[in-house]
Amino acid sequence: MTGKLVSMDAALDAVRDGMSITAGGFAHSHQPMALLRALIKRGAKHLTLMGVAECWVAEFLAAANALDRAYFSNFVFEGFGRCRRFSEGVERGAIEVEDHSHFGMVNRLGAAAMGLPFMPMRSMSGTDILATPGFEPREAKSRLIESPFDARDRVLAVSPLTPDVAIIHAARADEQGNVQLYGPTSVIVEQARAARHVIVSVEDLVDTQTIRRNPEFTVLPGLLVDAVVHAPFGAHPLGNFGYYLHDQPHLQDYYDASRTPQATQAFLDEHVHAPADHWAYLDRIGIARLLRLRVDPALGFIPAERGHA
């Protein structure tokens, strides 16, 4: 295929030190882990993350000392606990943070996605999120304004956030960059539309006619996408709806390792730095383990008798 299909390294050439990035996904699904590992392996530094709930992205960037700042609402490992390396970085002042509610981050990205100078909302008003700003001046983040329709009504206006680059993992795309995703999309659409440059890794490459047969799954048209990367199991060890479940033992291995910086570094050395590329990473995980995570395409889930990785 031609068009916007490129290698992972070529796609990530767009991410330079000091840039702001946003990454799709939520909890243990749809986060662009293959792109993230490659970005860390390239030695990216001084990044700003504009995130909603992409906890694993934030954690790995913090563990790799690649993250300087984060606009975010909440980073926590569902079912495990706090993001230890990210939290430790914040506590010792290595990572600056700007707190929001989930809806606050969605609205700031949404304003940029729609080309608006601000987005009105009610949540966050009167909270310590506004009373105790982080690295961003309070007036640059939000302001209380009067409604143009009723001067007695005041709402919070939040400013737009425009990431330099969005890195997204999805289900499939064609060579023109038309991207489809199944299941909950989280804030992926707003994140991609808000960004100046969009990189998408996908499980499957298909032709445009296949995309057109199911237009309801198209979350990003090709005109919004700059690069497409073919990366099967590109969310591993997280899951991808309709393809595979998250790898619970692998996530547990990382969470256990994250108790100390030394063990965390050993984990990154083994799973990020040692593999030559994404395909070598999949070889390290093993095809048998990956296939045990794979959902039955007819059933849409893993039969109980097959078990998990």
Residue range 226-243, pLDDT digits in tens: 999 999 999 999 999 999
Closest CA to 288 of 300, 271, 261, 306: 306
Hey, what domains does the chain have and what are their CATH numbers? Answer: 1-116+161-309 (3.40.1080.10), 121-158 (no CATH)
Element (H, E) at 59: helix 55-63
pLDDT of 298 over the 80 cut: no
Which range of 51-55, 80-84, 260-264 scores highest in mean pLDDT? It is: 260-264
pLDDT at 151: 85
**Dist CA 266 CA 263 (whole Å):** 5
pLDDT of 1 over the 50 cut: no
Task: Kindly state the percentage of the chain with pLDDT values over 90.
Answer: 83
Q: Tens digit of pLDDT for each residue in 108-141? A: 999 999 999 999 999 888 888 888 879 999 889 9
Q: Tens digit of pLDDT for each residue in 300-309? A: 777 665 555 5
Q: pTM of the full predicted structure?
A: 0.94
pLDDT of 186 over the 80 cut: yes
Quote the mean pLDDT of the chain. 93
**Dist CA 143 CA 154 (whole Å):** 10
**Dist CA 248 CA 77 (whole Å):** 12
**Dist CA 50 CA 161 (whole Å):** 8
**Dist CA 247 CA 237 (whole Å):** 5
**Dist CA 299 CA 111 (whole Å):** 39
pLDDT of 225 over the 80 cut: yes
